[in-house]
Structure 1
Amino acid sequence: MSLTKRYVLKLFFSLKYITANVVDRNNGRIVSSASSVEAALKHGFECNRTCNAKAAAVVGEVLAMRIKVEGVPQIHCNVKKELDKGLKNHTKIWALITALRNGGIKIVDDSVL
């Protein structure tokens, strides 16, 4: 396995919640995670809306801080594959990825390669 694609971003969207995980592919463990299910995040959303673009941006900001603490240099994400998962999630995916980038995380888009 290539060490250059060691850390991968995995996104999960349900009707109510957003979860983002960074997975270490070398040993299959989750390095960092953030979700709108977490009580600290859940109570901060307006009108309890835990699955919209604003919630995705907040999840991305929290995940960016947690990734920095773990010392992960860069993460890989196949953005095209994530966008193809569901038509209603496009703005949420871009909000989360933009929040990660604004948080100083280098994201390598594998769909471009």
Structure 2
Amino acid sequence: MRIFISLKHVTTNVVDRNYGHIVATFSIAEHSIKQSLECGRSCNAKAVAVVGEVLAMRLKVEELKDGQGRGIHLNVTKEIEKKGFKSQTNVWVIVNALKNNGVKLIDEDDGNW
């Protein structure tokens, strides 16, 4: 999973490691949800949590949720380092929203979560 954070937008992509194509994606910039979120000068934690929730629903549709025993690989440390310390909260909000919605996450650092 890759997370992209800018001042006004947050986008997540789940990429199939074997084939390199995007399996599921969600962005705050999507028109269907953009109007209902409060992203003025920057996105608040509540809006960022929606990213994790919607992505979890899309993964469920793609049957990548915990049903097959597979999981979504994520290196939180690397994502935070790339985004900077100020985005640390947003990264953790997305991770927690995915976990709270039943997505199995595998930490690439140690393989656990």
Regarding TM over 0.5, the answer is yes
Unpaired stretches in structure 1, ≥5 consecutive residues: 1-8
Letter in 2 for 1:51: C
Aligned equivalent of 1:92? 90
* Shift in CA distance, 47/19, structure 1 to aligned 2, threshold 3 Å: closer
Runs of 4+ in 1 over 2 A off after TM superposition: 46-52
Provide the C-alpha distance between the structure 2 equivalents of 1:55 and 1:47, rounded to a whole number of angstroms.
7
Letter in 1 for 2:71: Q
**More strand per residue:** 1
Equivalent pairs counted in the alignment come to 105
- TM-score, normalising length from structure 1? 0.86
- TM-score, normalising length from structure 2? 0.86
Provide the C-alpha distance between the structure 2 equivalents of 1:54 and 1:74, rounded to a whole number of angstroms.
25
Aligned equivalent of 2:101? 103
Contact 1:83 1:90 in 2 (8 A): yes
Are 1:19 and 2:16 an aligned pair? no
Contact 2:56 2:102 in 1 (8 A): yes
Deviation string for 1:87-109 (max 9, x for gaps)? Answer: 11011000000000011000001
Provide the C-alpha distance between the structure 2 equivalents of 1:60 and 1:50, rounded to a whole number of angstroms.
17
Q: SS in structure 1 opposite 2:24?
A: strand
Provide the C-alpha distance between the structure 2 equivalents of 1:60 and 1:74, rounded to a whole number of angstroms.
15
Aligned equivalent of 1:61? 53
Identity of aligned residues (%): 52
